[in-house]
Amino acid sequence: MSETRKFPQSRFAPPPGATEILLVRHGESAPHVEGESFPLVGGHGDPPLAPGGTEQAALAAQRLIDTGERIAAVYVTTLQRTVQTAAPLAERLGLTPIVEADLREVFLGDWEGGEFRRRVADGDPIAQLMYVEQRWDVIPGGEPAHQFRNRVQRGIERITAAHPDELVVAVVHGGVIGEVMNLATGSNGFAFTGADNASISHLVVDGDRWVIRCWNDTSHLSPTFSTAAEPLI
């Protein structure tokens, strides 16, 4: 009598040649002080991490080290809050972070330098319209949605082309993580906007197929399901 075959549930494995990207949102950044502007880099507000953000960076680094995964590279953007967040991890891995400029935050036009935070806090009508229409580009001078989407896609595709069959970490921004998730799922607007500071999201890219393994993991920061410290940007 032949043995009865059993078929256990299969576990996910990245396809050959795929790239795994752990998207880490930068730690909490310094508050905007009314009447003062953040320094600008390429027109983008460039605040440093707040003390709490430095602590979050250390916790995210420990979580990534504890996985035991071999991390082939660490990517950052042109903005210092990503560089500072990546520093504890890069130091422990002995890696020099690589700058991927196309993964910098969405450009907020006239509301750069911290003005965005004030406008949102004050209930500015344009900020309210932004939430209703779920578009950054209602902000005066803001980056057009198609341009933002295209450059984020370029940045991810450059990383994947450089790292087949490897896992990398990319320390980026909340708006960028939201747009990556939109690209992977076919969503639009703000469906995935609001990733927590120092959260980890897991993306697997296999050619034109983008697979989300997790979004906004904050288990290294808090036992609760949300640790949001600041709105959106």
Cα separations in angstroms, 168 against 23, 58, 97, 150, 187: 9, 18, 11, 21, 24
Residue with tokens 């959260």: 199
* DSSP-based three-state secondary structure for 159: helix
Cβ-contact 82, 169 below 8 angstroms = no
pLDDT by residue for the chain (233 residues), tens only, comes to 678 999 999 999 999 999 999 999 999 999 999 999 999 999 999 999 999 999 999 999 999 999 999 999 999 999 999 999 999 999 999 999 999 999 999 999 999 999 999 999 999 999 999 999 999 999 999 999 999 999 999 999 999 999 999 999 999 999 999 999 999 999 989 999 989 999 999 999 999 999 999 999 999 998 776 665 555 66
pLDDT value, residue 232: 60
For the domain made up of 19-105+143-217, the CATH class stated in words is alpha beta
- The number of residues making up the chain comes to 233
Give the residue extent of every domain in the chain. 19-105+143-217
Neighbours of 150 (CB within 10 A): 13
Q: What is the pLDDT of residues 193-212, one digit of tens each?
A: 989 999 999 999 999 999 99
Which residues are CB-neighbours of 9 under 8 A, at least 6 positions away? none
Q: Using alpha carbons only, give the angle 128, 117, 43 rounded to the nearest 5 degrees.
A: 110
